[in-house]
Amino acid sequence: MIFRQLFDETSYTYTYLLADEQTKEALFIDSVEGKVDDYIRLLKELGLTLKATLDTHTHADHITAASILRDRTACQSLVGKQSKADCASAKFQHNDLISLGRHNLRVLYTPGHTDDSYSFLLDGQKPKLFSGDTLLIRGTGRTDFQNGNAAQQYRSLVDILLALPAHTLVYPGHDYKGASVSTIGEERQHNPRLKVASEQDYVELMAALHLPNPALMDIAVPANQACGKHKPLA
């Protein structure tokens, strides 16, 4: 498996490139519009053919590159079943398998940050979890907009993600302190958001955060519901 973790310095977003070494089929998870030329160059350098872009949810802090990559590479753009991005090539749902050459990416519905939040699990000797904004390194995604729900997120975390094997590698959608990877075992032990005793405690913890809205929220959300198409930013 070819694997690259790419970073957007403006939105602190991690984008992931996965590709099969034999078939050279590739996909991007959570692409960022401003990085398209970098993505295209990397695909060419590695001799890869882009099969699909996947978005873990409707982002509020950056605009997806899905539409541009689809136009430039003829790939598919895939989003979750609950997404309002009806312009996508297709939609996935819980427990779907997305094939990539000899490999399969399992789709996990993990709502709470938004109502269309998903994670992806790449099985293997060292499983990789791409957790979007549901599980962050030593944190979790906010739950106060886009039909977010802290109780739902608690259940997504406890019942689905933290139930994975301890050695599962965790690759989040963002990190704001320079961390790049963790494990499920580490997050069980050290994530302060997961030290609560109950679902109600988690709901109260998240309600007390009072975070400001992302700067691009009013632009990014409608743009991402249109697969990344939007008027030029001023």
- Overall average pLDDT of the 74-90 stretch: 97
Decide: 31 and 189 in contact? Cβ < 8 Å: no
**pLDDT for 230 beyond 90:** no
In order of their start, the domains of the chain are 2-217 (3.60.15.10)
- Overall average pLDDT of the 169-182 stretch: 97
Residue range 89-135, pLDDT digits in tens = 999 999 999 999 999 999 999 999 999 999 999 988 899 999 999 99
Q: Which tokens sit at 13?
A: 């977003």
Sorting pLDDT into bands at 50, 70 and 90, what band is 215? confident
pLDDT of residue 226: 95
Sorting pLDDT into bands at 50, 70 and 90, what band is 232? low
**pLDDT for 234 beyond 60:** no
**pLDDT for 194 beyond 80:** yes
Q: Give the bridge partners for 119, in sequence order.
A: 108
DSSP string of 38-71?
Answer: HHHHHHHHHT-EEEEEE-SS--SSS--SHHHHHH
φ, ψ of residue 11 to 5 degrees: the values are: -105, 0
